A and B are shown apart, each in its own frame.
Chain A
Amino acid sequence: MEVSLTLNGSPRTVDVAPRSLLAQVLRDDCGLDDVRLDCETSTCGACTVLLDGDAVKSCAVLAPMADGSEVTTVSGLPRHDRLGAVLSAIESPDVLPCGECLPAVSVVTAALVQSRPDPSAREVARALSGTVCRCTGYASVVDAVVAARTTEAT
């Protein structure tokens, strides 16, 4: 069946099996390997994308369910203004050295900052609770988001 998406701002129509996961379609049919696919049990959150502006785990969304929707992956996030500063901060190799969760963390952070322009450390930690990081204990990314907001504000 055909599924039409607005993918990172561009229209895209793909022919998918009805039981295809959005994550698989984004990776295999659309060539977007910035969408990680790790646990496939909607636990790790590495495959998180924006679906009509909401952060969702794309391994928990059937591709046909996304028909007609706007899908944004990390490579489609806007890089200007305040969000760009926050994304630049968390994309530093010193923040998330492994990078496996980085696309998801970026997407979740984008969703958070767009709704809460000045999040607290607790709010950042709660927002990221669906995205597992094994490399840092989370402190570095939470600190980076808060620091970027603080720096931007001054």
Chain B
Amino acid sequence: VSKPLGYVHLVRSQVDAGDASVDLEAARAMPGVLDVLSAADVAGQVLPGGMPVLAHSIQYQGQPVAAVVATSEYLAADAAEAVDVEISTSDVRADAPGSPDDDTRTDTDMLTAVVDQPRWHVAPLQTSQCLVEPGDEAGDLVVRTPARDPQGFARDLARVLGLEPTQVRVEASPHRGRSVNVGDVIAAGHAVAATAALRLGSPVRWQESRAESLTSGGAEAGVQAVARLDRAPETGALSLGIRLTFEVGAAALPSTADAAAVRALPWYGFDELRVDEVERTSHLPPAYVDAARIVGQVLAAESALTLLSRVTGEPLGELRDQLADEGGAAALLASVRADGGTAEVDGERCASGFALAPGVAASVTIRLDAGTGEWAPSAIVLAAGDDGPQDLDVVHSLRAGALDGYGIAAMQQIPFDAQGTCLAATLMDYVMPSSAEAPSIEIRRVASDRSTAVGPDLARHLATAAVAAACRDAVTSLLGAAADLPSPVRSSDAWAVANA
């Protein structure tokens, strides 16, 4: 592997709309700086999804507007701070991520539950990165990067750069990137590193930082779900409307095969189910959009049912059973509900919670320290249909999704300022269960009336959604605070309820 001569650091917009003008002269004079690029230097380069590699017209917070290449990543970062970015703010959107945007009906017969999930992937270990070297022939490139589909990555990157497909060769490390999803998404940094390698004639490295990954890539941005549940007075028919609002982005959401597959899976049988999406996340990879859809819908539906139970006095378990039966998911839910109960173990209060996601039911047993509000699961049971893939990839995905579900359920708040700028974004912002903290996770295969066959990626999202919702149900069950706990269930919230 060649030692890189240059390191790329992207200069990103701090606001989510406006026209950027950049002054590069001060950065160009900084020590170690090899090259400085603005939107004009990569004019015509457009990423898959339609975003420019470097933007003049800002469409989302964190969008790259310039790039510095220097002899070390430290010097590149220092020089990037010297880039003077001015953004006309006449039309800046001031709505902070996650702020309610509720302009629809206020019908008093409707129950409304709001779920504000700040992030749905707990720990994206692998940020985007690449090492780009000039090839043997002039204008050719060799790109080393994690990728599930190296040939597809090379083809797409060549298209971005305006090169022939044969001019870009991608070497992907084996055993990398299959489950971490970011590998095949061409980001601005890939294109900038490739452009710089061509301009300098030397190897150039780009590695996305953790904060960049969390705040600008969109891959970790959250979803807000507003669920409206209406029960017809005469027929008892339940109508659920869910509106999903994604926090970043600019244009229409892509519809994917996974989204269609979810609709075919056994879930709750609402008499009417409507899902609307606010179109603001076009640069999200489809896999992440699917995860957001699933997590948002499941959390919102479970919240709405909890609220209905509290208002009507109907036992939540009976509501779930009835709807699961009507949705063809009775066997899945019954399998995990057999493990339910509340108990006291070693002086700690324990309770189980349940949730149903399309095709996957979850039971989570938690322990809670009422003195601190800290809670943690001691056992997780997932039930999935027995007609799906039985391979290890699906089992791994269900287990990993279960831990992700615990993580996002217990996630700490990510602070934003009034302009929507993320104030902190590191791995310390949320709970990523370690091996020592991981509870036992049992996977059950259950005969189901409807097909539950899904692949590893979708299985993971479904497990994440089910376990996240079941965690909150468990805390709610233990504290007896129906519908008053938000999701995520932070220890401070649990403590406040426990000590009210």
Known: A137-B441, A140-B396. A41 touches B176 (CB 8 A): no
The residue that B74 contacts in the complex, of A17, A31, A132, A138, with Cβ under 8 A, is A17
Contact residues of B between 107 and 142, Cβ < 8 Å to A: 122-127
Once A39-B125, A41-B210, A44-B427 are accepted as A-B contacts, the answer to whether A134 and B180 lie under 8 Å apart by CB is yes
Residue of A nearest to B437 (CB): A129
SS class of chain B's interface: helix, strand, loop or mixed? loop
Chain B interface: which of A4-12, A65-73, A80-88, A98-106?
A98-106
The answer to whether A19 touches B74, judged by C-beta atoms less than 8 angstroms apart, is: yes
CB neighbours (8 Å) of B236 from chain A are none
Q: Does B438 contact A (CB under 8 A)?
A: yes
Q: Which residues of the partner chain A approach B312 to less than 8 Å between Cβ atoms?
A: none
A101 touches B125 (CB 8 A): yes
Q: A131 on the interface (CB 8 Å rule)?
A: yes
**Which size bracket describes the interface of A in this complex?**
35 or more
The reply to whether A128 and B426 form a contact with Cβ atoms under 8 Å apart is: no
B404 within 8 A of A: yes
- Is B423 an interface residue, CB under 8 A from the partner? no
**Residues of B within 8 A of A (CB-CB), count:** 45
Q: How far is it, in angstroms, between the C-alpha of A46 and the C-alpha of B434 when the chains are bound?
A: 13
Inter-subunit contact B435/A33 (CB<8 Å): no
- Which listed residue (A19, A28, A29, A132) contacts B434, Cβ 8 A? A132
Query: Is there contact, CB below 8 Å, between A98 and B180?
Result: yes
- Cβ contacts under 8 Å, B173 to chain A: 33
Q: Tell me, in angstroms, the Cα distance from A111 to B3 when the chains sit together.
A: 29
Highest count of chain B CB atoms <10 Å: which of A125, A126, A129, A134: A134
CA distance A57 to B393 in the complex (A): 28
* Residue A135 CB within 8 A of the other chain: yes
Interface residues of B in 412-448 (CB under 8 A from A): 426-428, 432, 434-438, 441
Minimum Cβ distance to chain B for residue A115 (Å): 17
Complex Cα distance, B433 from A136, in Å, reads 12
Knowing A17-B74, A97-B178, A100-B180, say if A43 contacts B402 (CB, 8 Å): no
Residue on B nearest A108 in the bound complex, by CB: B435
- Across the interface, A28 reaches (CB within 8 A) one of B3, B397, B402, namely B3
Complex-state Cα separation, A99 to B179, whole angstroms: 9
A94 touches B427 (CB 8 A): no
With an 8 A cutoff between CB atoms, is A40 at the interface?
A: yes
User: Taking the complex as formed, is A130 at the interface, i.e. its CB lies under 8 A from any CB of chain B?
Assistant: yes
Specify which of A40, A93, A136 lies most central, judged by the most chain B CB atoms within 10 Å of its CB: A136
User: Quick check: B399 and A139 within 8 Å, CB to CB?
Assistant: yes
For residue B207, CB closer than 8 A to chain A, the reply is yes
The answer on a CB contact under 8 Å between A136 and B400 is: yes
Asked if B367 lies at the interface with its beta carbon under 8 angstroms from chain A, I say no
Q: Among A44, A99, A135, A140, which residue has its beta carbon within 8 angstroms of that of B174?
A: A99
Cβ of A50 under 8 Å from chain B? no
Chain B residues with CB under 8 Å of A22's CB are: none
Is A133 among interface residues, defined by CB-CB distance under 8 A?
Answer: yes
On whether the beta carbons of B3 and A31 are closer than 8 Å, the reply is yes
Known: A33-B173, A44-B125. A135 touches B179 (CB 8 A): yes
List 17 additional contacts besides A33-B144, A98-B177; criterion CB under 8 Å: A19-B74, A24-B73, A28-B4, A29-B3, A38-B125, A40-B210, A46-B125, A101-B125, A124-B435, A125-B436, A131-B434, A132-B123, A132-B434, A134-B125, A134-B179, A139-B441, A140-B396
Which 5 A-B residue pairs are closest in the complex by CB-CB distance? A99-B175, A137-B399, A129-B436, A98-B179, A138-B435
Interface residues of A (CB under 8 A from B): 17, 19-20, 24, 28-29, 31, 33, 37-41, 43-44, 46, 93-94, 97-102, 124-126, 128-142
Interface CB pairs A-B, < 8 A, 13: A28-B3, A41-B426, A97-B392, A100-B177, A126-B435, A129-B437, A130-B434, A134-B125, A134-B404, A137-B399, A137-B400, A137-B403, A139-B441
